[in-house]
Each structure stands twice: as structure tokens, then as C-alpha cells.
Structure 1
Amino acid sequence: MKIRKELWFGFALMAMIVAAALFMLISVERIERGHIGLLMLSLVVVAIMLGFPTAFTLMGMGMIFTWLAYDRDTQRTLDLMVQSAFKVMSNDVLISIPLFVFMGYLVERANLIEKLFRSIHLALARVPGALGVATLVTCAVFATATGIVGAVVTLMGLLALPAMLRSGYSVQLSAGTITAGGCLGILIPPSVLLIVYGATAGVSVVQLYAGAFFPGIMLAGLYIIYVILVAKIKPSMAPPLSAADRFVPLPALTQRITAPTGERHAVAGLLAALKGPRNQDVPTGYLLRQLGIVALPLVVFVFFSLFMYRTVTAPVIEDAPPAELVRSGDTGTSAPAPAGGLAEPPGADGVKEPPGADGVKEPPAADGVKEPPGTDGVKEPPGAEGVKEPPGAEAVKEPPGAAEAVREPPGAEAVKEPPGASAAPAPAGTGTTAAPAAARDAPRGFWISFGVGAAALAVFYALLSFARLEIFKMLLTSFFPLMILIMAVLGSIVFGLATPTEAAAVGALGGFLLAIAYRQLTLEVVKESVFLTAKTSAMVCWLFVGSAIFSAAFALLGGQELVERWVLSMNLSKTEFLILSQVIIFILGWPLEWTEIIVIFMPIFIPLLDNFGVDPLFFGLLVALNLQTAFLSPPVAMSAFYLKGVSPPHVTLNQIFLGMLPFMGIQIIAIVLLYIWPQIGLWLPQVLYGR
């Protein structure tokens, strides 16, 4: 009965779309080609909702309507199809998609998520709603490493949902937390959605990644705040963990250290066992290894602080103008000119081509006086007489700077006077001289960050018990490897060290190394990862081809022009246009997936941005935040169906939908915050790339 209700909802939505298209055709005075394009768009949406493959639906509709637009000319229709497909598939950015997907599948099959969830929920055991918060953090980290929504929701449904239900969490909160957290990979880089949007809208994927970083963290933070508030206001929905759930078993050798004295502080206990009489038969090597793990945060903090201090206090070396420019008289400064001129004698060229040379060769020197021989300096000073007389020839032969003296008469005296010209020659092989600069003082921000880090480190060591040491060791083997992989991939992209494709290749290699380190890399794992990567990549590539053909047909029919005229006739402001576009995308997220919205509707929205002064990068961030509704809004909330497939029988689909509704509201709040303060998304691209 429930499925029938959902089907009725879908059929009703399709009927509304068809009715709107027919009403448009009936109500207009004259049917234009653009109206045929809008009819094609509505038919595509209905066909996709009926279950037809998106890519082939786009290609089929595009070719049929192109054939009609070309007056049934098959040759021109096939030419347009081939050109559109070739243009899309020659985009180098798309190469990064299979590499990122392959990295995600390898990380997924390394079985890190169980260790990751266990270590994070133990580390956050005393936080209200600890299991919900740990679920969101695990989803954010794992979704960032994989970017595969279905895999994250499915694995967390198998792992976190039973644990949350056993601890007394409500079904709605548990389901909403897992589905919302699993969708974070859509927004947080490295996101395939951002690659697809960048290729569709012509926006730099690197800048999109930098811009989506803080909005993704903001959205995850809003989710966590909501779970904590629910746990504080309604403890029955998210009760605290019991003592048994918070218990951390200690290794046998560690128990020998704590047994005689009951010492629970890790640093004091290890030092006491190392220097005192050890009758507990604890090997010295074990103690040293534990102390090494304890000292690891301090070593990392000191190394990072020294590196940042040297970076922020390094002197700024200002380069002088190139010597070639100074010799040619392109700069107005005379101080660096002698250094460059004397170090590399430019006068060789000046002897061959200077004004005096022509004057010596040609007997009628008077003509040389009347007409300038190539320099302005011959007109004004009486240097032309020097060209006639023999001493002028000697002047040409003597100093190499004479050519410059002829061009700029005062420069000759300047070359003779300052002694610094010979004392500061330019380095060989370079055209610039570096001005000396003193070391800078460290800015206040560095000292504030250093103080906060030192305080956090002091708190860490003050509270480091043996149980927390075991949790820290679990994090070292689950959380930090993933974070290192993520930061290596994202850092190399954002800071310009590698292109997205190169960084994706490094990420795929990192996935291999993680699978090897955790002894999960088998031939079967590689075969499954390659097969799923090929399947996903082929789907995305076919979508791009179908989108290109459909967009070409839509533009050929004049649909884009008709939409643009209609939108501009409404006299919308920038704010009204953004609200209208986001509402349309939000509604489209009900029946369609994000891939279909990007490839079908973004080519319609993007040309309108210039008319309203909207930055395509900022619009892309709003769309990325909004498109998570495609996985959280019924009736096509794919994450709900992923979770339903692995949840216990008593968890119904309606309960999952109800649990997702508060998180959809949080997404709307995040969109509003990003619009009010666009620097949340634009600050990092402006700092890194000067947008």
C-alpha cells in the first residue's frame, strides 16, 4: 500500500509536468521553435521518472528533435551528434573521475570504516549524542575519502544503525543521521559532482574544491550541533553511552604497569615504569614504543610550528627590474642600470647599431645631423657634431655604456659617478638583482594559533590516561591514515601542486597502499574495484554525451533563448533570481538525481548568470549544497532506499523519510548562511587564486 502511494505521487507529478507543457502550447498565440524545445525538456523529465536510462533518453530525445529542427536532414543530425560527443570527451578534467572513483572503491574495501567508527565514538564518548556525532564524523571522513554516497550509507547502515538502536536512539534520528552524513561526499571535495559541474559550467575544478571546503565543514558542523541539541533537549531520543559501551580494554603489558599502583595517567605511569624497579616483567622496548607514541603529537606540533614560523618570518625579496629592460631604457630608474650594464656589456650591440655608426659610414654627415639616426638623444644635445669629428669614433669604441649615454645624455655622467655600479654586478645568468631584506616579525595570528595549539596539547597530555592512549592508538591506525590521504590529495590540488587528474592518480595510489597496509588488497578486491569504477565512469561519460546532444538540440530549437527572454521579462533582482533558481533545483531534487539535474538544467541556468551578475563559482557552491536534497527528498531519495536495504525489518521507509526532514531543513539554513555570507565559500579561492 505504501509503494502504491509513492507511485501515485510520482504519476501525479508526471501528469502535472505534461499538463504544464500542454497548457504552455495552448496558451501562447504563436508556437515558436523554443516552445518545442520546452516540450522536449518536459518529455525528458517524464521519461526519466518512468525509469528510462537517463543518458540514452537524453541522446534519443536530442537526436529526434534535432532531426525535426533540421527538417529531417539525417546527415546534419549525425554530424551534430558526433561533434557534440567529441567536444565533451576531449575534456581533460573528466579523466580525474575514474581515478577518484577507483580510489573510493579501494578505500571502501580496505575495511577502515569499522575501526574508524569505533575509535571516533570512543573518543567522543562523553559528548551528548556521542554515537550520532561519531556517525556524522565517520560519514564525513569516509565520504570525503570515497565520494560514493551509496557505499557510505550502506556501510554505516550495517555498522552504526544497529549500535544506535541498541543504545536506545530513536529510529528517525538514527536514520536521518546516517542518510544525511552519507550525502556529505556530494559537497566535500574531492567530489565528483563538483567535477561534473565544473566541466558543464566551464568553472575551474580547483577553485570549486577550494570554495566547497568550508561550506562542507559548515554543513557537517550544523548536523553535529543539531544532534547534540536533540541529545540535550530530548535525552530519550539519544541517550548517553553506558559504562560498558565506553569501556576500553587495555593490553596485558599495560595492565602490568597499572596493576601495582593503580596509576591511570599514561605519561607518569610509563616514565615511572621506565626508570623505577620493574618487577612486572614489562620489556623496555615496549615502554619506549609507548612513550614514542605518546610523544608523537608533541613532535608533530613542534615540527609544524617551526615550519610555519620560518614561513611567516622569511624575508620578502624584491626583485629589481631586469637588466635588459634597464639597458634598453624602458625603466625610469638609473640606479640599477649601471650594475646591469657593467656586468653584461650591452655596449656590444650599441657599437654595431648606434647612431654614430651610421654617421661614420656615410660621408654626408650633415644629413645625419638633420635627420635623427635612430635616437632622440642626437637631436637635442650637440652630439651630432661629435659624430662628424674623429673623436666621436673613439667615443663609440671606448666604454660600452656610451650607447646609453647617447640615448640619455645625463646617463653617461651617472655611469661614471656612482661607484656602486662595479661593486654590485648582477649574478651571471640572471636578469634581476635581489634587494636585501630583513626577516619579518611573526604576525599576531601565528602567535594566537601557536598558543591555542600549545594549550590543546597541554590539555591532551594532562588528560591522557592509559584508556585514552589506547583510543589514540586506534585513531592512529584508522582516522589519521585517511586524513593524510585526503589532505595529500586536496592539498596538492588546492595549493596548485598538481592538477585534479594528477592528484586523483596519487589518491588511487594511496588507496592501493592503504589496502596493502591493512592486508585487504587481493585480486578479487582489485577486480571488483576496477569493474565498479568502469561502470560508474561509463555512466558519467554517457551522461555527458547525452547532455551535450540534448543541450545542442535545445539551443538549436531556441529553448535557451525563450527561457532567457522569459526570465528577463520578470525584471528579477539578483536575490530574486537566486531564490527562484534554488527553489527550482530544490523541487527538481524530488524526482531526479543530481547527475540529471547537473547535465540537463545547468546548461539552461549558466547562460543567465551574466545577466544578473552572479559568479558561476558561487552559484556552483549553492547548487552543490542544494543538490544534496536529491538524496534526501522523497520519492527518489536514494540514500533512504540504500539504508532501507540494510536496516532491520521494523525500520520502515516512512520512518527514514521522517528522520531526513530535519536535515533537509538544516541544508536550507546552510544555503541561506552561504548566501548571506558568501565569503564562507569565496574566501579561500580569493586568498589562494586572487579571484
Structure 2
Amino acid sequence: MEYAAILMFVVVCLVLLLGYPVAFSLAGTALLFAGVGMALDVFDPAFLTALPSRLYGVVNNQTLLAVPLFVFMGAMLERSKIAENLLNAMSLLFGRFHGGLGISVILVGALLAASTGIVGATVVTMGLLSLPTMLKRGYSPAFSSGIICATGTLGQIIPPSIALVLLGDVLSNAYQKAQLDMGIFSPETVSVGDLFAGAVVPGLILVGFYILYCLVLAVVKPDIMPRLEAEDIEKLTRDQSVPALMLSALLPPLLLMVAVLGSILLGFATPTEAAGVGAMGATLLALAQKKLTRENLKAVMQSTTKITAMVFMILIGASLFSLVFRGFGGEELVHGFFQQMPGGVVGATLIVMLVIFLLGFILDFIEITFVVVPIVAPVLLAMGLDPIWLGIMIAINLQTSFLTPPFGFALFYLRGVAAKSVRTADIYRGVIPFIAMQLVLLIALAVWPELVTWLPELMYK
């Protein structure tokens, strides 16, 4: 009966590869296996009676309320030309040097990641704004593509991130389950704020890696990263002076970041409350930029509704899938597999990270978060892993899979908006150094977990 759980997992992956909607693939596969299992008298229908309470818990979850608010904030910022103004300001600041435009793209991508938290939106926005500019000014197509894809995926790890919001909710449930399995009755949970705090240092390290790579390449191969010409700088400063352009471009997003992330890290607001502040702040910024038109507001609200509906439908499908998976004894099978694995907790963690990395080729982070993490996280947490460290490791792992050829989602996003002169091979070749940097960061966090746990511990001392 336990092997039916493995077969169910394999079938749902195959159905997803055929292109069927994720939420209905999860729910449909689960119902099909549950029906066959009941017919063969190998599945207890009592497991399905827990579904209404599961769904009520989803609807009543205050943490998940942050999802539509952060999505709204990101979509509104995307429409308010914040990215374009930032790129112009950063180009003025660094464009006079070899590699300066590349550094500008990294910093703008990091600021957008900290403002929007949505990978697809960041990659597409940066691809439309900066890729034509970089190519026109003589930058290598491979480097330009790689740096845009890599900085776009920073939204996966730099808070406030939708991925961390969803991971926080899933890991909180997994941590409570692991505590109960060990006979520990504790009200302690894993909050989204903990994950946001844990992600700050790794996110800054990753941005530092990217900038360092850009500087080294500018010294070694300055011909593929030319500096801005005098006429380009003159065009940027035609309407505003340099200080005025820098102030108007940098101040609004920085204030929004401080209001959202600062209020969470300093304990003034929950992630849901801070998301509300962020949504309101993004709307005021759009109003100040004269971009709060009826058409833009309609597009933002439609985008928010679509993404939120998708997330919650997947969550409902994943809840049904996990109930049926548990009914077939899948959790016991996974637990036994990890317990018998050589290397103990280290071996189990390596296997989980490898599986998540490979699944990242074919599944989106939302599916992995709702389907895979609830299965493996309780077992790993019961083996003594820190939940915040595990959450950040999973987030960075998923970020790496976003970049890895040939199925990385960020590569598809950029391919969709890149000019035909940029070959797919250029995009694939360009992301390889950035994948290596992310793997180095994963190894560093495995060796020094304090890089993740230091800030959360400092906040709650």
C-alpha cells in the first residue's frame, strides 16, 4: 500500500509534464487514487473527512493574507516606472566605469526583488528595460542575459518574498507536526518574520558575489563590458540634474523597503500588516509618478486576482494530495527511508536538497512548497535541523533551479522578451557562473549555518 504513495507522486509529476493545470492535477490525481484505493479496500476514506477542516484552516490563515497584498504591491510598482527610474539613476552612478551598467542592473534587480518579491515580474521588467540598453552599448549577450536572469531570481530569497511567505506557513505546520511526533507540546512556531530575518544576510552575500564577479570580469575582459559614452550620460541628465535624478529615483523605493521590511524585522508589524503598508505605499508611489490610471489599476487588480487565485487553488489541491498521500502510508515510507539512510541527518538533507533541485526543473516553487516540503520537512525537523536554516536552504535551492538549463523558469521568462539576436545558447551560457555562485552560497550556509540563524537570534534575544 505504501508504494501506491510513490506511484501517486510519479503520476502527478507526469500529469504536470503533460501541461495540465497544477491545482487540478494534484486534486484529480489524489481523488483518482483515493477512489481506486477505496475500491480495493486499501485506503481509509476517513482521511478525506479531514479536508473541510484543512480548507477552513487555509481560508482562516492570517499569514497567507500577505500573499495578495505583496502581489498587489509588486504589480503596482511594476506599472509605476520605478525600475526605469532606478536604472537611469544607477547608470549615472556607475556607468562611467567598465562593468558599471552591469553593477547597476544587479543593484536595481536587488531593489526590485526587495520591493516586488515576484521572480517572473522582475525578470520580465529587467529584460524589457535593461537588455536592449546593454546590447546597444556593447555588452556581451551571454553576460547580459545571465546577469538579468540571476538578479531576477533574487526575488526568491530577498525579503519580502512570496516564496518565503508560503514556505513560512508550510514550515510552521511541519515544525508543529515534528514537535508532536517527538512528544513535545510547545506553542513555538516558525514565523514568516523569522525567515525574512534569516534571508537578509544570505541575500546580501549573493548580491555581493554578483557584484564581485562583475568587477573581476570588467578587469579581465573590459571589451565585453564597455563604459557609458558622454552622450549617453548627457541624455540621462537632460531633464534633471544628477542629484535630483538620484534622489527622485532612489528615495521612494528605499522608503518603501524600510517601511515594509523594517517594520517586520523590528517587530512593529506582522508580515500581513506590513504587506498592507507596502500595498498602500506602492499605490501612493504610482500616484506620485502619475501612473495611477484606471487602466493601470484595473491591470494590477486583475493580475493580483489571477496570481492569488492560482496560489490558493494549488494550496487546496495540495491539501487533498497530502491527505491521500498520508492515507496510503507515504509519510511513514519517507520517514523510514530517511532513518535508514547512511550519513544520518546529513545524508537525508543532501538527498532532499538534490530532489528539490531536480524537481525545480519541472515544477514551480509553489508546487514544490505545497507538495514536497510538507512531506519531507517534518522528518528533517524531527532529526534536529533548525527550521529557519532549512527554509532558507530550500529557498536558495529553488532559486538555483530557476536558473538551471534547460528548464529554468527564469530562462523562459527572459527568452519570451529578449530580441531574436540573443540566442538561447547565449542565455544558457550566461547563467552558468551565477549558478556556481549560488551553489557556493549553499555550501557556505551548510558549513556556517550561523549566516542564517544569527540575525533571527539577535532580534529575539
Q: TM-score, normalised by structure 2?
A: 0.91
> How far 1:251 moved relative to its partner?
7.1
Which stretch of structure 1 is more off in the superposition, 579-588 or 46-55? Answer: 579-588
Partner of residue 166 from structure 1, selected from 136, 144, 155: 136
The answer as to 2:48 corresponding to 1:82 is: no
The answer as to 2:412 corresponding to 1:618 is: no
Contact 2:402 2:410 (C-alpha < 8 Å) held by counterparts: yes
> What are the equivalent positions in structure 2 for 1:454-493 lying under 5 Å apart?
470-493=241-264
Aligned residue type for 2:79: R
Aligned residue type for 1:596: E
- For 2:131 and 2:108, the matched residues in 1 are separated by 13
SS of match in other structure, 1:591 = coil
> How far 1:127 moved relative to its partner?
4.0
Equivalent position of 1:265 in the other structure: none
Contact 2:157 2:164 (C-alpha < 8 Å) held by counterparts: yes
C-alpha deviations, 1:395-442, integer Å up to 9, x for none? Answer: xxxxxxxxxxxxxxxxxxxxxxxxxxxxxxxxxxxxxxxxxxxxxxxx
- For 2:221 and 2:151, the matched residues in 1 are separated by 21
Which stretch of structure 1 is more off in the superposition, 84-93 or 103-112? Answer: 84-93
- For 1:542 and 1:250, the matched residues in 2 are separated by 48
Aligned residue type for 1:197: L
Residues 1:622 and 1:251: Cα distance change in structure 2 (over 3 Å): closer
- For 1:661 and 1:586, the matched residues in 2 are separated by 15
SS of match in other structure, 1:180 = helix
Contact 1:149 1:186 (C-alpha < 8 Å) held by counterparts: yes
C-alpha deviations, 1:494-530, integer Å up to 9, x for none? Answer: 1111111111111111011101111110111111111
Partner of residue 58 from structure 1, selected from 26, 48, 63: 26
Equivalent position of 2:457 in the other structure: 686
Residues 1:673 and 1:85: Cα distance change in structure 2 (over 3 Å): same
Partner of residue 200 from structure 1, selected from 162, 170, 189: 170
Equivalent position of 1:150 in the other structure: 120
Q: Which has the higher helix share?
A: 2
Partner of residue 131 from structure 1, selected from 96, 101, 105: 101
Equivalent position of 1:589 in the other structure: 360
- For 1:602 and 1:250, the matched residues in 2 are separated by 49
Equivalent position of 1:212 in the other structure: 199
Partner of residue 231 from structure 1, selected from 218, 221, 224: 218
Equivalent position of 2:76 in the other structure: 106
> How far 1:75 moved relative to its partner?
7.1
- For 1:593 and 1:67, the matched residues in 2 are separated by 27
C-alpha deviations, 1:115-168, integer Å up to 9, x for none? Answer: 110101111124431111101111110122112222221121121111111221
The answer as to 2:331 corresponding to 1:557 is: no
> How far 1:79 moved relative to its partner?
2.8
Residues 1:250 and 1:95: Cα distance change in structure 2 (over 3 Å): closer
- Rg larger in structure: 1
> What are the equivalent positions in structure 2 for 1:251-270 lying under 5 Å apart?
none
Residues 1:676 and 1:517: Cα distance change in structure 2 (over 3 Å): same
> How far 1:78 moved relative to its partner?
5.4
Aligned residue type for 1:67: G
- For 2:437 and 2:147, the matched residues in 1 are separated by 12
- For 2:53 and 2:125, the matched residues in 1 are separated by 42
Contact 2:74 2:115 (C-alpha < 8 Å) held by counterparts: yes
Equivalent position of 1:506 in the other structure: 277
> How far 1:246 moved relative to its partner?
3.7
Partner of residue 602 from structure 1, selected from 373, 378, 384: 373
Q: TM-score, normalised by structure 1?
A: 0.62
The alignment of Structure 1 onto Structure 2 pairs a total of residues equal to 442
C-alpha deviations, 1:208-227, integer Å up to 9, x for none? Answer: 11111111111111111112
> How far 1:70 moved relative to its partner?
4.0
SS of match in other structure, 2:223 = coil
Q: Where in structure 1 are there 5+ consecutive unaligned residues?
A: 1-32, 253-468
- For 2:268 and 2:362, the matched residues in 1 are separated by 40
Q: CA RMSD in A?
A: 1.9
SS of match in other structure, 1:236 = helix
- For 1:249 and 1:214, the matched residues in 2 are separated by 33
- For 1:471 and 1:577, the matched residues in 2 are separated by 54
Contact 2:26 2:318 (C-alpha < 8 Å) held by counterparts: yes
- For 1:234 and 1:608, the matched residues in 2 are separated by 48
Aligned residue type for 2:90: I
Aligned residue type for 1:224: I
Aligned residue type for 1:108: E
Partner of residue 15 from structure 2, selected from 38, 43, 47: 47
Equivalent position of 2:448 in the other structure: 677
